[in-house]
Amino acid sequence: MIRLVPRRQRSRAMVWGAPLLAVALTLITGGLTFAIMGKPMGAALFTFFVQPLTSVYGVSELIVKASPLVLIGIGLSLGFRANVWNIGAEGQYTFGAILGGGIAIFFHDSTSPFLLPAMLIAGAVGGMAWAAIPAFLRTRFNANEILVSLMLTYVAVLLLSYLVHGPWRDPDGYNFPESRLFPEAGTMPVLIEGTRVHMGVFFALIAVGVALLLGKGLTGFKLKLVGLAPEAARFAGFSETRIIWFALLAGGGLAGLAGVIEVAGPIGQLIPTISPGYGFTAIIVAFLGRLHPVGVLLAGLVMALTYLGGETAQIEIGVPAAVTGLFQGFLLFYLLACDVLIRYRVHILIGKAAR
Amino acid sequence: MSGFEHLTPLILTVITASTPLLFAAAGELVTERSGVLNLGVEGLMVTGALAAFAGTYVSGSAIIGVLCGALAGVLMALVFAALTLSLLANQVATGLALTIFGLGLTSLLGSGFIGVTVENLPKLYIPGLSEIPVLGPIVFGQDAMVYLSFACVGGIGWVLARTRVGLILRAVGASHDSAHALGYPVIRIRYMATMFGGAMGGIAGSYLSLVYTPMWAENLTAGRGWIALALVVFSTWRPGRLVVGAYLFGAITVIQLHAQGLGVAVPSQFLSMTPYLVTIMVLVVISRDRLKIQLNAPACLGRSFHPAQ
Amino acid sequence: MDEHNDKNKPDDGRRAGAPLLEARGLTKAFPGVIANDTVSFIIRPGEVHALLGENGAGKSTLVKMMYGLLRPDEGELFWQGRPVQMDKPSTARALGIGMVFQHLSLFEPLSVLENVALAVPGKWNPKALRKRIIEVSTAYGLPLEPDRIVQSMSVGERQRIEVVRCLLQDPQLLILDEPTSVLTPQEADQLFATLDKLSAEGRSILYISHKLHEVRRLCSGATVLREGRVVAHCDPREETPGSLAELMLGTRIAPPSRASTRRTTPRLRVFNVSATSSRAFGFDLKDISFTLHGGEILGIAGIAGNGQNELMKVLTGETKLDHEADAIRVDGAPVAHFGPIHRRLCGMAFVPEERNDHAAALNLALTDNTFLTGFSKLRLTRGGMIRSRRTLEHTKRVVDTYGVRTAGPRADAGSLSGGNLQKFVVGREIMQAPEVLIVAQPTWGVDAGAALAIRQALIDLAATGSAVLIISQDLDEIFAICDRIAVMSEGRLSPPVPVAQATTEEIGLLMGGVHAPTIPPEPEPEQREAAT
């Protein structure tokens, strides 16, 4: 029999120990999964988790995939701290890409240096606008932001599908559901020649830095307090409404930015599917990173590795790429389970002592 | 009369579209009444859908398939319950994890079933009765699951309102501290309610893959689990209203599909958006009345319970 | 009759009769504290036995073990001479033990009938149960309507449900945990009459309290607990309140000392405040008016749930009165349209009733909790950043000045004991040198030492010329430290009267909702003048 004994004080060691433990457990489970699929466990794990990191290309791809995850994860972590459950980042990402990409399509022969900044701003604004809907409905009508933000994800993805199938379809594209390629001036500059690493990395790092500063300030305190003790926040005089708005706008803005960066960077045009589920994976990134900016940065890299590992494993050993989603699910499960160690000591009682 | 005859197939598809929503929402309603918020309905449904499809494919029997679906739902719910009830993990986060995990698991395991077909569920046929125009096929010509869904909702309503078991379930959701003080095993009761919700979610998924589509496709549920969650709020946690909600959504889904089929001059994507947009509208309309939600929502919904001292 | 009753008998055996219940050597430890240390005592049939002790003495832990909610680490319980394993409450109920909890264990959205049914074993038969509820409640003078929803009932009515719920099971032993803490004096008298009747029927009662006059009125035997140990078995009728208090506390604790008050100018004025409650079945505030002067302590008495929470929210600014800025004035300045932050800058400070996650965030450090209410007044931010050293220093000052026992200023608020956290919360507010301090339930659930320190701190603050408002259910407390008293009932506030002129009975009537003032309120010319 297992009994949980509350700790008098949260264990600070376990705050960071739990995610490490969760990663370790995921590796073990992953190995077993490979074994069940009839793959050599060690070699498969190596292919999935290590091999991508052994080449410059692999590392550069890791960075490319981690950037949107970190950007979105930072935004979500701000909200999650305040118990504002924005799980529609995928939709905000998509709408940001639509708005920002729309500018590139509209000015497709522009060479102006202002095109890219305008797109980035439009992307962030688009993400905010999309997140403003659940913020408004929650603060004004008490409607659950989880369900509203999620429903809007489906709407945004359908809207993108409509646009690339219809009005924004590339006139010279042989009827493929794709927009034109963005002009040079509307593309993220590549940082390292020969790779896809682009300017977006800076945005992710800036977001981490700003979030770190926020955490040490009054705003960070408000978010934390609203999440941990909403009554105390009201008593202190912090407006819950404003916090909800802030959390959703920050999350939406960063997701929208990530969306436009992605279409202006690695993708270079609007297509029906512009995300391998970054908006949802970023939820795991936020939790795995303990809702702490530096943690989110590290977690973003870990989760990017699961995408990359999935692709590598598919090519090298013929494992379906869907294994990525499975591992991500395992990781989140283990993390949630390990989190119990922060507040409770686990006593294992055997036999008579259990009474 | 001919107008009505035209309507019959439409109504039949509405029933098919509504049944999975009704199952899933009814299960979630029981879970939530015990004070547990399982946001992983989507994960339960998609796992149930694949398990039922695979079960039917392997065994050749749809009944065994549905049982497999229910079992898969129970197992998923058990994971959720172990994390949230025994390990006191955050229910919102764990529900999300359940969905992410379910979608990942099924897209991995389901790849072999894409493009495969299975036997459909048999429809009821009562000579004479089923031949009555309009009413016959609607009332007497459904498959067993449709009747089962109504029986479940009726049964849940009766149990909640009229029996001791239902009273205890409501009590645990209203105040786990009081229930604990009276000696009720709060955690065990919540385990049961969560697993019941899991079974119902699994059955809902089964209906999707065996009857509604009927085939396996990745991400087959397409947000229906989330809509089921919204339906529970819409019903203000009362089983009777669940039927209204589920059929309203079933009807919207079918009408927009028919509109797409008829080539209405609205792009299909906009029509496809309607169920999601209507969900948002319905949520707003119901949630606007804070006092009503406060009075009807189980007071302990989403709160962890640890019988510390 | 049983041999083991004769050795090990904790009292001197003056009373005849075999014990109904005996506890022998019960011990229970929690992380960091031994709540009960080898506790033994006996309850005889028909006896009203008192379990006396201050907050934190271990009374609740002891009764939870007797009712099967906790398992003792060591020790045994005997029921009518036989050893019993109280593994769950239903075992206790089956034996004939009924329990009325201090924090009532009711289900608010359910009806009286459903609440009772949940505690009564047997077949589910609402019709028969409804009849029995009416029978029992009439027989014992505890009127109840079976179909009412608990949420809509007053605290006193709710307690009746618990008592009736126990009586339906025909208990041999009824345990009542601090039953009068939620009652008016008149309601308490009614309860005592019911208890007398039960005792006359031969039922035993275990009466848990720290109110000495009640224990002396009701009980024929008493077990006194202090810091988890039994310090005495006695007959409370043969003791004086002073000697009982000394047993409970270990030392003589002097009541808080108060030099004569000097009432100065009005500092807080509240005119005709009305506000709707945000809770279902909460009382709306109706025309609340009062004036609070510098140097005085005003007490607002009343049964819980009569609008005190609503009043507190209006005073703290958690409920803002946007269009009636003048309804609340501090030193003449209108503040009713301000939120809490702005009101604190105007010299107000607050201690809400619930210290856990309302007054203080349990999962945050004490430093964060200092910041929580002090960040604007104490200038703990600069350019949006938290000045952590300044916050830390201020926290240390609060901890040192008020003797808060803690692992350090960075410890989580939740790691403090209730009494220490309350000292911190009250100290935190007083250290902001407020002009007006508003405190709800300053010593609720706090041990005697901490309660004394808190009361003294409030008196000392008033002596500096600040105004203090105390909202409390504890009449003894109000009579001990307040200058004037007003009563809140169903959202209305009675005119304040000097404590010296008020009697418990009159205040009790007001608490019960009898609005006709029996004491002429003192004239308040300032109020009328300011209202014009």
Please check whether residue A124 lies inside any domain of the structure.
yes
Query: pLDDT-based confidence at C474, cuts 50/70/90?
Result: confident
How many structural domains does chain A have?
A: 1
List chains touching B (3+ CB pairs under 8 A). A, C
Per-residue pLDDT, B4: 58
Question: Nearest-CA neighbor of C50 among C234, C188, C180, C283?
Answer: C234
CB B141 within 8 A of CB B123: yes
Per-residue pLDDT, C454: 92
List chains touching A (3+ CB pairs under 8 A). B, C
User: How many whole angstroms separate alpha carbon B299 and alpha carbon B281?
Assistant: 24
Phi-psi region of C464 (alpha: psi -120 to 50; beta: other; left: phi over 0): alpha
* ipTM, 2 dp: 0.89
Please check whether residue B56 lies inside any domain of the structure.
yes
- Is the pLDDT higher at A67 or at B260? A67
Q: Which residues of chain C are at the A interface, by a Cβ-Cβ cutoff of 8 Å? A: 31-32, 71, 316-318, 339-344, 350, 352, 354, 357-364, 368, 371-373, 375, 381, 384-386, 407, 411-412, 414-415
A137/B283 Cβ within 8 A: yes
Per-residue pLDDT, C530: 42
Residue A251 has pLDDT above 60, yes or no: yes
Per-residue pLDDT, C77: 93
Please check whether residue B249 lies inside any domain of the structure.
yes
Query: pLDDT-based confidence at A148, cuts 50/70/90?
Result: very high
Please check whether residue B302 lies inside any domain of the structure.
no
Per-residue pLDDT, A354: 40
Burial class (CB in 10 A: 0-12, 13-18, 19+), C322: exposed
pLDDT digits (tens, 9 = 90+) for B59-101: 988 899 999 999 999 999 999 999 999 999 989 989 999 999 9
Number of residue pairs across A and B with CB atoms under 8 Å?
137
Place of tokens 């009753």: C5
Range of the domain at A277: 68-290
Neighbour tally for B181: CB within 10 Å: 21
Token pair of B238 as six digits: 């009362």
Of B178, B183, B291, the CB nearest to C107: B178
pLDDT digits (tens, 9 = 90+) for B152-167: 999 999 999 999 999 9
Query: pLDDT-based confidence at C529, cuts 50/70/90?
Result: very low
Please check whether residue B223 lies inside any domain of the structure.
yes
Place of tokens 């510390």: B308
DSSP codes, C247-265: HHHSS--PPPP-PPP---S
Per-residue pLDDT, C56: 77
Residue C256 has pLDDT above 80, yes or no: no
CATH number at residue B285: 1.10.3470
- Mean pLDDT for the stretch of residues A63-88: 95
Question: Nearest-CA neighbor of A284 among A19, A12, A67, A16?
Answer: A19
CB under 8 Å to B14, separation ≥6 — which residues?
A: B247, B250, B251, B254
Residue C400 has pLDDT above 90, yes or no: yes
Residue C53 has pLDDT above 90, yes or no: no
Q: A3 - beta bridge partners? A: A347
Per-residue pLDDT, C527: 44
Give the 3-state secondary structure of C275-329.
ECCCCCCCCCEEEEEEEEECCCEEEEECCCCCCHHHHHHHHHCCCCCCCCHHHEE
- Asked if A10 has any chain C CB less than 8 Å from its own CB, the reply is yes
- Is the pLDDT higher at C522 or at C125? C125
Length of chain A: 355
Angle between helices C366-374 and C388-401 (to 10 degrees): 100
Give the three-class secondary structure for A4: strand
Is C262-347+434-532 a CATH 3.40.50.10540 domain?
Answer: no
Give the 3-state secondary structure of chain B.
CHHHHHHHHHHHHHHHHHHHHHHHHHHHHHHHHCCCCCCCHHHHHHHHHHHHHHHHHHHCCHHHHHHHHHHHHHHHHHHHHHHHHHCCCCHHHHHHHHHHHHHHHHHHHHHHHCCCCCCCCCECCCCCHHHCCCHHHHHHCCEHHHHHHHHHHHHHHHHHHHCHHHHHHHHHHHCHHHHHHCCCCHHHHHHHHHHHHHHHHHHHHHHHHHHHCCCCCCCCCCCHHHHHHHHHHHCCCCHHHHHHHHHHHHHHHHHHHHHHHCCCCCCHHHHHHHHHHHHHHHHHHHHCCHHHHHHHCCCCCCCCCCCCC
Per-residue pLDDT, A285: 94
pTM of structure: 0.89
- Mean pLDDT for the stretch of residues C13-39: 80
User: How many whole angstroms separate alpha carbon B276 and alpha carbon B256?
Assistant: 12
Neighbour tally for C183: CB within 10 Å: 21
Of A10, A216, A232, the CB nearest to C361: A232
Fold of C1-96+171-252: Rossmann fold (3.40.50)
Same fold, C1-96+171-252 and C262-347+434-532: yes
Residues of A in contact with C341 (CB under 8 A): 236-237
Min Cα distance A67 → chain C (Å) is 27
User: How many whole angstroms separate alpha carbon C150 and alpha carbon C113?
Assistant: 10
Query: pLDDT-based confidence at A41, cuts 50/70/90?
Result: confident
Q: Where are the beta strands (DSSP E) in C166-254?
A: 173-177, 204-209, 221-226, 229-234
Give the helix/strand (H/E) hosting C351: strand C348-351
Residue B7 has pLDDT above 80, yes or no: no
How many structural domains does chain B have?
A: 1
Taking the CA of residue B59 as centre, how many other CA atoms within 13 Å lie in the half-sphere pointing to its CB?
14
Range of the domain at B207: 2-296
pLDDT digits (tens, 9 = 90+) for A257-280: 999 999 999 999 999 999 998 999
Per-residue pLDDT, C5: 38
Token pair of A199 as six digits: 């300017």
Taking the CA of residue C50 as centre, how many other CA atoms within 13 Å lie in the half-sphere pointing to its CB?
28
Residue C260 has pLDDT above 80, yes or no: no
pLDDT digits (tens, 9 = 90+) for B266-282: 888 999 999 999 999 99
- Mean pLDDT for the stretch of residues C94-121: 89
With b for 16 or more beta-carbon neighbours within 10 A and e for fewer, the A46-62 pattern comes to: bbbbebbeeeeebebbb
Min Cα distance B180 → chain A (Å) is 17
In whole numbers, what is the pLDDT of chain C averaged over residues?
Answer: 86
pLDDT digits (tens, 9 = 90+) for A202-215: 999 999 999 999 99
Residues of B in contact with C69 (CB under 8 A): 180-181, 183
- Mean pLDDT for the stretch of residues A109-130: 95
C344/A8 Cβ within 8 A: no
Min Cα distance A27 → chain C (Å) is 32
DSSP conformation class of C487: E
Query: pLDDT-based confidence at C264, cuts 50/70/90?
Result: confident
User: How many whole angstroms separate alpha carbon B215 and alpha carbon B193?
Assistant: 30
Residue B175 has pLDDT above 50, yes or no: yes
Give the three-class secondary structure for C54: coil
